[in-house]
Structure 1
Amino acid sequence: MSQATGKHPKGLYYLFLAEMWERFGYYLMIGIFFLYMTDAQSGGMGLPKDQASDIYGTFIALVFLTPFIGGLLADRLLGYRLSITLGGLLMGLGYCGLGIPGDSFFYLSLAFIIIGNGFFKANISTLLGNLYTEEKYLPQKDAGYNIFYMGINVGAFICNFVAAYLRNTYGWGWAFVAAGIGMFIGLIIFWVGNKTHQHADIRKPAQPHDMSLLKIVGTVIFPAAIVGILSWVLIPGSVFGSDSTDAFIFGSIPIVLFYVSLWARASKEDKRPIAALLSIFAVVIVFWAVFKQNGTALTIWAEHYTDRSMPAPLEKPAASLGMVQSIDASTKTVPDFDNAFRTRTDADGKVVTKEGLDPYVNNLPREEWPTEERSLSLISTELFQSINPFFVVILTPIVVSFWGFMRRKGKEPSTPAKMAWGLFITGLSTLVMVGAVWAGDNGQDKVSSMWLVGTYFVVTIGELCLSPMGLSLVSKVSPPRLTALLMGGWFMATSIGNKLSGILASLWDTYDDKQYFFWVNFAVTVAAAAVLVLMLKWLREIMENPSGNKA
């Protein structure tokens, strides 16, 4: 019998704090990862931007692909608590290892993080779902996942400020070590609360028609690795934009086929719920492909087209916290302001928007350029990444209360219906960016940062309707012995979406009118929402009667 505090099992709060610190470490690392790889003046790696982008995109794809393997091993062999512990230790060591100079430590550390996340991510979500198997807790499962999701974003919000201060004050290594320390704190909290969730760590025996662990390795994981390597080496040119993207997409095919075969080989009782989840996975790939552009397209918009000027009263305190980027007339990235920019104006005297030289000064009016006497103090671009998690923290209690209100009225939407709303609202967020492009005359002028704030506000509502609901749905619908494996499937869909987000963002420069870039994102997201709406009746029937047996 689990202990309860209020309407939720006590273990929720320990898992909430453990996940908060784990995500603190991850988002601290990912927030400075690209900057570290491209920095050539302050102790970074000095890689070309295209190479750094390729490494970044491959990393965020792989880090959400390995939960497939971690979930499988937890279900069949290790159990959830041991898997979570192993994953946390590997990630903590990986973050700290990034602070050690040298390519060998760099790539080894990335491997530790990728493998560690595979053991941690899916299994802590599964363990949380197992806390809600008792009937008295079951109605609160969606709310429990919303609260858990808020923990992710508390960590994601505060980490960017810690990262900015440490990297600007002490260097890159200290920032990466801070990420590792955050991970180790999360592990300590997880084991302090062991008594509140140990009863939920139950391995489910495999059924006769389930593939053995050895067979899965031989027929799925090994072929995926071989296909990925061969795609990298043998395919001439780039089918999906780069060699690493080709390797990832083609290497994912054996894993996708495995999940399809999981449905094909399932018993009559399991076939319907597995089919429902695979359908959901396919649709939400579109959500992640659009949502994850916060690190690409929206960051480009923040860097190039958003007014990031720092109000004078905040300059000194912000600078002391490492939040200020300073541009002056002697900066190495803008070697000759007058000669460089005088030849880059249109007929009306506006600076033509081309990405190059210093990205901020590109479309800045001449009277606002830095001079020998006056530098520009700008809000650091990476801090815009904290807007989304800030809104998650603020809006989660409101969204949870709203669903509770609808439940009391007997009008609460089903979990799949909430997800359909999430996709539609995510589509609306891209229309805010259409407005931003219009307000800035297609990038000719800088626009207020409130356009980005508005976009993040809308997309966060969509995210809260979809992402934690997806975790809850997997926990509710999946056959018990396959929960962690199917949770890995959810994260695999996230992985593919992450990679596709990079492909979509790479098309940015092909759009002369940036409004069309965001219109395309709107169209694909709303189309995915419509597909999910068409499946709602079928999905509700499966949730109410997974096996399909007549009463």
Structure 2
Amino acid sequence: MASSPPKTTAEPPAGGATIFGHPRGLATLFLTEMWERFSYYGMRALLVLYLVSGGPDAAAGSQGGGLGMSAATATAIFSVYVSMVYLMAMPGGWFGDRVWGARKTVAVAGTVIMAGHICLALPGSAMFFVGLALVAIGSGLLKANISTMVGHLYKEGDVRRDAGFTIFYMGINLGAFAAPFGIGIVGEKVSWHLGFGLAAVGMALGLAQFLFFSRHLSPHSSLVPNPLTAAERRSVTVRTLAGVLVAVAFYGIVIAAGVYTLNWALVPIIAAGLVIPVAVLVRIRRDGELSDAEQKKMSAFIWFFVAAAIFWMIYDQGASTLSLFGDAHTEKNLFGWEMPTVLYQALNPLFIMLLAPVFASLWLALARRDREPTTIVKFSFGLFVVGLSFYVFLIPMGMVSGDEQVTMWWLVGIYLMHTVAELCLSPVGLSLTTKMAPKKYMSQMMGVFFLAVTAGDSVTGLLAVAGVDLNGAGVVALEATAAVAAAGAIYLYRNRVRALMGDVH
């Protein structure tokens, strides 16, 4: 998923260019994002496999030494983790805007992420969950600010701007593609904790070069655009401490009573992941300072938000439900080589790097002929394809029982469908958000769009916590139907939605 566009622009620093005619700072940010995504996607590829390792839902013959959880619990934890990464993007943006500035926030974020991976590399379930929380917090802080810093490198109207973001986006996918090879294989085949340790090394490399070459970044990245007043700082400190004390007291009572289970931690987080996105959307939509046109655009945006949440609910199961199925039920023999399960996670970034230029060229060619599909059509098509992918998933599911296996090419095809759907929906959604954002909330709306990921993954987490078998044919069919139905609804009501969108097409 692409990072958000910048919120401000500034005069780029002097000093020439070193990467395809772009400011030197682009190379710094490219490498920072590449190494951060390398560590993030490497750990993500291992996560559910490690959680079920040693338990009843682990694949026969797989490495032991994990936490031995059920597939349902592992999927719930994975979903909560991903949802928190995107939920933390909103306070991450707030810290960049009001407390530290983008550059300092990214430096702190990289340090927190590295510390999290170090905790994951240490034995013990307590350290594991501390590490998971740190990586989620750090990733949210970094994601909200690093693309803003890319924008700082270019003056308003600089024709290199879009190309610069394209180069930066390639860093995301390059890191994501390399991660299963550099981290995943070691973790799955040698040692889980060594794999997590390599993720820490990757983040350390990214952080080191960011700090060393930060002199090439725009001076504007060090500024705090809207610093807190002394009164606001006191208020935030008091509220934060009060919230921490209430949480500590509550969980202290639960633990002392001997009734604590993992669900006492998961359920409140899942609830927050569902309630906060709804509350944010309602607050913006009901803001009396918005013009009639802006309120109508927000009504249209809600359609796309709900559709995106359903999309991410299915898409992000590529690293949980699909990964567990691939580990237990696919024959991964590739020209005589037994392919590690984690390499399934390299397919999506590989397909993106191959297909993104094709889609860009296709939209441009169709636009020249005045036949480019509208945003609504692209969105509905992306939803339809991701729903169709889960209908396809039903076929290999129906072919296995017990320890039986099917060919790996079923999953390769499903991941390809996910990529096609993503290229129709995710970039379109990012662009649409910048066009439909009310002026008052221009800086916040990209974070609001990311909350669709939080909402979608929270639904998956809720189903898993409730004990629903996400590898069951009934649930997979239900999720597929929800996506296809949402695609149909958007398409059937496209004229109504288009009218709400006003001058945005």
TM-score (norm 1): 0.71
Percent identical pairs in the alignment equals 30
1:55: how far off? 3.6
For 1:46 and 1:130, locate their aligned partners in 2 and report how far apart those are by CA, in whole Å. Answer: 44
Instruction: Map Cα deviations across residues 250-305 of structure 1 (whole Å, 9 max, x no partner).
Output: 33425632442233235225645555545433321101111111123212331333
Q: What are structure 2's unaligned runs of at least 5 residues?
A: 1-10, 55-61, 255-261
Query: Structure 1 110/449 Cα, relative in aligned 2: closer, same or farther at 3 Å?
Result: closer
Q: Which residue of 2 aligns with 1:489?
A: 448
Instruction: Map Cα deviations across residues 154-210 of structure 1 (whole Å, 9 max, x no partner).
Output: 212211122244336763333222212222333345453664555577765599xxx
1:524: how far off? 0.9
Query: Structure 1 419/198 Cα, relative in aligned 2: closer, same or farther at 3 Å?
Result: farther
User: Residue 98 of structure 1 aligns to a residue in which SS?
Assistant: helix
1:542: how far off? 5.2
Q: Which residue of 2 aligns with 1:36?
A: 50
Q: Which residue identity does 1:431 align to in structure 2? A: Y
> 65, 70, 77: which is aligned to 2:92?
70
Query: Structure 1 230/542 Cα, relative in aligned 2: closer, same or farther at 3 Å?
Result: farther
Q: Which residue of 1 aligns with 2:344?
A: 384
> 173, 178, 183: which is aligned to 2:198?
178
> 468, 475, 482: which is aligned to 2:427?
468
Query: Structure 1 282/302 Cα, relative in aligned 2: closer, same or farther at 3 Å?
Result: same
1:116: how far off? 0.9
Q: Which residue identity does 2:381 align to in structure 1? A: W
Instruction: Map Cα deviations across residues 417-466 of structure 1 (whole Å, 9 max, x no partner).
Output: 5333322222232233244346x277896322111111111110111222
Query: Structure 1 464/447 Cα, relative in aligned 2: closer, same or farther at 3 Å?
Result: same
For 2:188 and 2:397, locate their aligned partners in 1 and report how far apart those are by CA, in whole Å. Answer: 32
Query: Structure 1 295/212 Cα, relative in aligned 2: closer, same or farther at 3 Å?
Result: same
> 525, 539, 542: which is aligned to 2:483?
525
Query: Structure 1 288/201 Cα, relative in aligned 2: closer, same or farther at 3 Å?
Result: farther
Query: Structure 1 473/198 Cα, relative in aligned 2: closer, same or farther at 3 Å?
Result: farther
Larger Rg: 1
> Given the alignment of the two structures, is residue 116 of structure 1 paired with residue 138 of structure 2, yes or no?
yes
Q: Which residue of 2 aligns with 1:96?
A: 118
Q: What are structure 1's unaligned runs of at least 5 residues?
A: 235-240, 315-377, 545-551
> 438, 449, 460: which is aligned to 2:408?
449
1:80: how far off? 2.1
Kept after mapping to 2: 8 A contact 1:146/1:468: no
Q: Which residue of 1 aligns with 2:69?
A: 48
Q: Which residue of 1 aligns with 2:468?
A: 507
Kept after mapping to 1: 8 A contact 2:394/2:476: yes
Q: Which residue identity does 1:507 align to in structure 2? A: V
> 423, 429, 433: which is aligned to 2:393?
433
Q: Which residue identity does 2:112 align to in structure 1? A: L
Q: Which residue identity does 2:40 align to in structure 1? A: Y
Query: Structure 1 231/117 Cα, relative in aligned 2: closer, same or farther at 3 Å?
Result: same
User: Residue 63 of structure 1 aligns to a residue in which SS?
Assistant: helix
Query: Structure 1 299/461 Cα, relative in aligned 2: closer, same or farther at 3 Å?
Result: same
RMSD: 4.3
Runs of 4+ in 1 over 6 A off after TM superposition: 3-10, 130-133, 211-234, 441-444
For 2:109 and 2:380, locate their aligned partners in 1 and report how far apart those are by CA, in whole Å. Answer: 32
Query: Structure 1 460/53 Cα, relative in aligned 2: closer, same or farther at 3 Å?
Result: closer
User: Residue 444 of structure 2 aligns to a residue in which SS?
Assistant: helix
Q: Which residue of 1 aligns with 2:457?
A: 498
> Given the alignment of the two structures, is residue 305 of structure 1 paired with residue 329 of structure 2, yes or no?
yes
Q: Which residue of 2 aligns with 1:393?
A: 353
> Given the alignment of the two structures, is residue 250 of structure 1 paired with residue 271 of structure 2, yes or no?
yes
1:24: how far off? 0.6
> Given the alignment of the two structures, is residue 284 of structure 1 paired with residue 308 of structure 2, yes or no?
yes
Query: Structure 1 245/133 Cα, relative in aligned 2: closer, same or farther at 3 Å?
Result: farther
Instruction: Map Cα deviations across residues 229-255 of structure 1 (whole Å, 9 max, x no partner).
Output: 979999xxxxxx954443123334256
Kept after mapping to 2: 8 A contact 1:223/1:254: no
Q: Which residue identity does 2:289 align to in structure 1? A: S
TM-score (norm 2): 0.76
Q: Which residue of 1 aligns with 2:318?
A: 294
Kept after mapping to 2: 8 A contact 1:126/1:483: no
Query: Structure 1 470/80 Cα, relative in aligned 2: closer, same or farther at 3 Å?
Result: farther
Kept after mapping to 2: 8 A contact 1:38/1:44: no
1:398: how far off? 1.6
1:54: how far off? 4.3
Query: Structure 1 133/190 Cα, relative in aligned 2: closer, same or farther at 3 Å?
Result: same
Kept after mapping to 2: 8 A contact 1:432/1:455: yes
What pairs with 1:415-426 in structure 2 (closer than 5 Å)? 415=375, 417-426=377-386
> Given the alignment of the two structures, is residue 23 of structure 1 paired with residue 37 of structure 2, yes or no?
yes
For 1:291 and 1:11, locate their aligned partners in 2 and report how far apart those are by CA, in whole Å. Answer: 33
Task: Number of aligned residue pairs: give it.
Answer: 467
Kept after mapping to 2: 8 A contact 1:228/1:247: no
For 2:384 and 2:423, locate their aligned partners in 1 and report how far apart those are by CA, in whole Å. Answer: 12
For 2:334 and 2:463, locate their aligned partners in 1 and report how far apart those are by CA, in whole Å. Answer: 31
Kept after mapping to 1: 8 A contact 2:297/2:501: no
For 1:518 and 1:51, locate their aligned partners in 2 and report how far apart those are by CA, in whole Å. Answer: 17
Kept after mapping to 1: 8 A contact 2:308/2:452: yes
